[in-house]
Structure 1
Amino acid sequence: MNKINFLKESLKNIRTSGTLFPSSRFLVSKLLKGVDFKTAKLIVEFGPGNGIITNNILNSLQPDAKLIIFEINDNFYNALLKIDDNRLVVVKQSADTVIEVIKAHNFENADYIISSLPLTNMPKTITTSILNNAYNCLKSKGCFFQYQYSLTYYSNLKETFKGKISLSFESLNIPPAFIYTCQKD
């Protein structure tokens, strides 16, 4: 999906897309730098949008690994279905179903979760469910990476991940973004 179509789709669905611009290569690079692609067997992505992060993950993912992505927007979902890669599973469900979905694909845990969800735009009950299920589906020492445009969700993530959280910032993105790195256990 090109930038013009991304902008049009984002304008129509700003509450679920959370932004008008796709992630910059700088943000994607910083977001994925903590992923050990050599050992990861399952990576999950929440809210892949136009697939910029998805494609970067696939470029580094081992041949025997899987990437399961959750996208609820019809147009983004249909565009993501066009990615031809047998390691990719595209799911049109809310991210709070992550445990059931990974089990349906014969996984007990995810190594990493990368999230672009606009947590501040979503009802608190849904974000709480998503974060709790993300925590519960991660393997021990697994990481959850989330970027946001504010620090609004810092305390929620800190509570969910028992304080094992670090924060970085990427100014070369529109808008600039905070990156939360949260580790289980």
Structure 2
Amino acid sequence: MNKINFLKESIKSLKTSGTLFPSSRFLASKLLSAIDFENAKLIVEFGPGNGIITKQILQRLNPNAKLITFEINDKFYNALLKIDDPRLIVTNQSADQVMDVIKQYGFDNTDYIVSSLPLTNIPKPITNSILNSAYACLKPQGYFFQFQYSLTYYNTLKQIFNCKVHLGFEALNLPPAFVYTCQKD
């Protein structure tokens, strides 16, 4: 999906896409910088949109690992289905179903979750369900990476991840974004 189509779809579904612009390569790089791709067995991605971050994960992912994506927007979902990589599993389900989906594919937990979900646009009960499900399905010492355009969810993430949250910032993105790195204890 090109940038023009991304913009058109984002305008139609701003509530769920959360932005008018795709993530920059700088933001993707910052989000993925702490991932041990060589040893990861499963990475989960919430809200991959048009797949910019998805493709960067796949470029680095070890040949025996899997990437499971959760995308509820039908146009983005269909664009993701066109990525030809046997390590990629594309689902059209809400991220709060993460535990059921990973078990369906033979996993008990995940090493990493990379999230581009617009948490502030999602109703709070659903966001809480997503974040608690994410925490539950991470392996011990696993990581949850989230970017947002505000600090609205900083305290919530600190509560869920027992204060193990590092805050970063990426100015080379439109708009600039905060990057939360959360580790399960």
Common fold: TM-score over 0.5 = yes
* Structure 1 position 133 matched with structure 2 position 154: no
Match for residue 91 of structure 1? 91
* Structure 1 position 16 matched with structure 2 position 16: yes
Cα offset, 1:2, TM superposition = 0.3
Cα offset, 1:44, TM superposition = 0.1
Distance in 2, matches of 1:28 and 1:87, equals 19
Distance in 2, matches of 1:176 and 1:59, equals 24
Cα offset, 1:115, TM superposition = 0.1
* Structure 1 position 65 matched with structure 2 position 72: no
Deviations 1:74-132 (A, max 9, x none): 00000100011000000000000000000000000100000000000000000000000
Deviations 1:7-57 (A, max 9, x none): 000000000000000000100001100100010000000000000000000
Match for residue 110 of structure 1? 110
Aligned amino acid, residue 165 of structure 1: V
Match for residue 53 of structure 2? 53
Distance in 1, matches of 2:116 and 2:129, equals 16
Match for residue 180 of structure 1? 180
Distance in 2, matches of 1:16 and 1:39, equals 32
Matched positions, count: 185
Segments of structure 1 that go 5 or more residues without pairing to the other structure are none
Match for residue 150 of structure 1? 150
Distance in 2, matches of 1:170 and 1:18, equals 17
Aligned amino acid, residue 90 of structure 1: V
Deviations 1:130-149 (A, max 9, x none): 00000000000000000000
Distance in 2, matches of 1:31 and 1:133, equals 20
Root-mean-square deviation (CA), in Å? Answer: 0.3
Distance in 2, matches of 1:31 and 1:114, equals 7
3-state SS in 1 of match to 2:182: strand
Distance in 2, matches of 1:164 and 1:98, equals 21
Distance in 2, matches of 1:23 and 1:131, equals 21
Deviation beyond 3 Å, 4+ runs, structure 1? none
With normalisation by structure 2, the TM-score equals 1.00
Aligned amino acid, residue 125 of structure 1: P
Distance in 2, matches of 1:16 and 1:38, equals 32
3-state SS in 2 of match to 1:131: helix
